């Protein structure tokens, strides 16, 4: 009789343990979608932060000193980030320095994004057009 009561207590303890483990698994599964959403928000924030350093220069009627600052910003970004940004003229020629910037002209800056399928949305090219 004593052994039977001990067996029932052990069986009850095992059932409670299984119930607690099941509740834990259920909670973990329900938080997976939230964790994925938070990760997605972090990725979006990283893209916005990266792109913000270039969007300030985008647009028409940019002065030569702004274009030179843009060159410096791109060179600094390329030195420390895996996302490389290229600078091209409207003709499609890639330029490496601000030596081609003329003091008495104004420029239009257009940004290109890595939005192709599987792309990240990062700025990957800057096109400078003389006005």
| SS3 state of residue 116 | coil
The predicted-structure confidence for 92-111, as pLDDT tens digits, reads as follows: 787 777 777 888 889 999 99
Per-residue model confidence (pLDDT) at position 117: 65
Number of domains the chain contains: 1
59 - beta bridge partners? 109
Q: Tell me, what DSSP letter sits at residue 104?
A: T
Per-residue model confidence (pLDDT) at position 17: 94
The strands making up 123-130's β-sheet, listed across from edge to edge, are 59-62, 107-113, 123-130, 86-89
Q: Which domain holds residue 75?
A: 2-130
Per-residue model confidence (pLDDT) at position 45: 86
Q: Residue 36: is its pLDDT beyond 70?
A: no
What is the pTM assigned to this prediction? 0.64
Mean pLDDT computed over every residue of the chain: 85
* 94 touches 87 (CB < 8 A): yes
User: Per-residue b/e over 30-42, b at no fewer than 16 CB within 10 Å?
Assistant: eeeeeeeeeeeee
Q: Residue 26: is its pLDDT beyond 80?
A: yes
36 - beta bridge partners? none
Per-residue model confidence (pLDDT) at position 116: 66
Per-residue model confidence (pLDDT) at position 118: 64
């Amino acid at each position: 009789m004593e052994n039977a009561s001990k067996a029932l207590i052990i069986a009850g303890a095992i059932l409670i343990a299984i119930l607690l483990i099941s509740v834990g698994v259920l909670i973990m599964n329900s938080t997976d979608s939230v964790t994925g959403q938070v990760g997605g928000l972090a990725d979006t924030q990283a893209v916005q932060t990266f792109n913000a350093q270039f969007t300030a220069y985008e647009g028409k009627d940019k002065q030569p000193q702004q274009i030179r600052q843009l060159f410096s910003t791109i060179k600094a970004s390329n030195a420390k980030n895996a996302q490389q940004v290229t600078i091209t003229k409207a003709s499609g020629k890639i330029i490496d320095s601000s030596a081609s910037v003329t003091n008495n002209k104004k420029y239009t800056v257009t940004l290109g994004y890595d939005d192709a399928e599987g792309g990240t949305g990062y700025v990957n090219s800057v096109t400078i057009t003389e006005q």
